[in-house]
Amino acid sequence: MSKLIVLNHPLINHKLTMIRDKDIQPKVFRETLEEITMLMAYEVTRDLPTEKHLVQTPLAPYEGEQLAGLDPAVIVILRAALGFLPAMLKLLPTAKTGHIGLARDHKTLRPVEYYCKLPGELGQREVILMDPMLATGYSAVAAVDFLKKAGAKKIRFMCLIAAPEGVAVMQEHHPDVDVYTAALDECLNEKGYIMPGIGDAGDRIFGTN
């Protein structure tokens, strides 16, 4: 069974409270989301594999560590997860980036694919899949399906807020994918939105309705 890791950190909690406020402007929302992403990313990447690497300091040789294997792959579910990307690429500047476009059918609450572009050699990379909200779980499950069909074997999922229903769906369909989140909220409402949540993350990032 996959693990649910709730990153309960004072700075994450403080900044998450800020962006839950419905009156925060998109610019401040984006900037604060980037700060939260940086804080979360330290924990999400904590167990990435490393290997020994010899360098020459100004004074002496030194055997340190560097990330092992091929560069990690950072995959965003469009469009809202684009808000995660700048911060992740600051920390992992050589990471390969992929995009999966999934739109929610508001009647069925199921995802509809409209775009998918992934890096090569996914089977040899550590893969971080990102979406701000894990609500029904259907979009995350569909995205992991795409990644596994493309050969990915080591996948971790990162989200800002999760609902218990979405976590259960992920664990049922992909028990090998750990879920990292800043908060586990109460439930979904009748429209499939997380309560209390933050509303539509994409709309709040980009200032749309």
Q: Report, as residue numbers or ranges, the catalytic residues.
A: 104, 108, 200, 203
132 CB burial (10 A radius; 0-12, 13-18, 19+): buried
CB 36 within 8 A of CB 15: yes
> CA separation (Å) from 74 to 53, 88, 109, 168, 176?
24, 8, 25, 23, 18
Containing 169, the helix (H) or strand (E) segment is helix 164-173
Containing 99, the helix (H) or strand (E) segment is strand 96-104
